[in-house]
Amino acid sequence: MSKKAILIICDGMGDRPVKEYDYKTPLEAANTPNLDKLAEKGLVGLMDPISPGIRPGSDVAHLAILGYNPYECYAGRGSLEAAGAGIQLKPGDIAFRANFATVNEDLTIVDRRAGRIKTGIKELAEAINQIKIESVNGVSVEFYPTIEHRGVLIFRGEKLSKNVSDTDPHEIGVKPLKSKPLDDSIEAERMAKALNEFTEKSFHVLKNHQINLNRVKMGEKPANIILARGAGSYFKLKTFQEKYGIKTAAIAAVALVKGVCRIAGMEIIDVKGATGGLNTNFNGKADEAAKAIKHYDFVFLHVKATDVAGHDGNFKAKVEAIENIDKMIGRLIDQLDLNETYVTITADHCTPINFKDHSGDPTPILIHGPETFHSEIKKFCEKTASQGNLCRIKGIDIMAILTNYMGISEKFGY
Nearest residue to Zn ion by CB is 58
Q: Which is nearer to Zn ion, 153 or 308 (CB)?
A: 308
Strands 248-251 and 298-303: parallel
Q: How far apart are CA 353 and CA 176, in angstroms?
A: 31
Minimum gap (Å) between residue 262 Cβ and Zn ion: 17
**What is d(CA 211, CA 200) in angstroms, rounded to the nearest whole number?**
19
Please tell me the distance from the alpha carbon of residue 367 to that of residue 124, in angstroms, as a whole number.
48
Judged by beta carbon, residue 205 or residue 308, the one nearer Zn ion is 308
- CB of 310: closest distance to Zn ion in angstroms? 7
The least CB distance from residue 49 to Zn ion, in Å, is 9
Cβ of residue 302: shortest distance to Zn ion, in angstroms?
A: 9
Q: Nearest approach, Cβ of 306 to Zn ion (angstroms)? A: 9
Rounded Cα distance between 325 and 38, Å, is 13
Query: What is the rounded (10 degree) CA torsion for 318, 321, 325, 331?
Result: 150
> Quick one: 63 or 153, whose CB is closer to Zn ion?
63
Q: Which of 222, 112, 123 is nearest to 168 (CA)?
A: 112
Q: CB-side exposure of 1: number of CA atoms within 13 Å?
A: 7
User: In sequence order, what DSSP letters do the residues of 246-270 get, joined into one string?
Assistant: --EEEE--SHHHHHHHHHTTPEE--
Task: Report, in Å, the least distance between residue 304 CB and Zn ion.
Answer: 8
Considering the complex, state which of residue 220 and residue 348 has its C-beta at the smaller distance from Zn ion.
348
User: Based on CB atoms, which residue is closest to Zn ion, 15 or 187?
Assistant: 15
Shortest separation between residue 263's beta carbon and Zn ion, angstroms: 17
On the CB side of 103, CA atoms within 13 Å amount to 26
C-beta of 215 vs 229, nearer to Zn ion: 229
**What's the min distance (Å) between Cβ of 400 and Zn ion?**
21
Query: How far apart are the C-alpha atoms of 365 and 302, rounded to whole Å?
Result: 14
Residues of the shown chain interacting with Zn ion in the complex, contacts defined by CB under 5 A: 11, 58, 307, 348
What end-to-end distance do the CA atoms of the chain give, in Å? Answer: 22
**Which CB, 163 or 346, lies closer to Zn ion?**
346
Closer by beta carbon to Zn ion, 11 or else 220: 11
Nearer to Zn ion among residue 85 and residue 303 (C-beta): 303
Region of residue 14 (left: phi > 0; alpha: psi -120 to 50; beta: else) = beta
**Shortest Cβ 90–Zn ion spacing (Å):** 28
The string of DSSP codes covering 134-154 is: -SSTTEEEEEEE-STTEEEEE
CB of 56 to Zn ion, least distance (A): 8
SS3 per-residue string spanning 306-361 = HHHHHHHCCHHHHHHHHHHHHHHHHHHHCCCCCCCEEEEEECCCECCCCCCCCECC
Distance, CA of 153 to CA of 142 (rounded, Å):
6
179 vs 351 by CB, closer to Zn ion:
351
Amino acid present at 332: L
Chain-centroid distance of CA 87 in Å reads 16
State how far the Cα of 383 lies from the Cα of 405, in Å rounded to an integer.
26
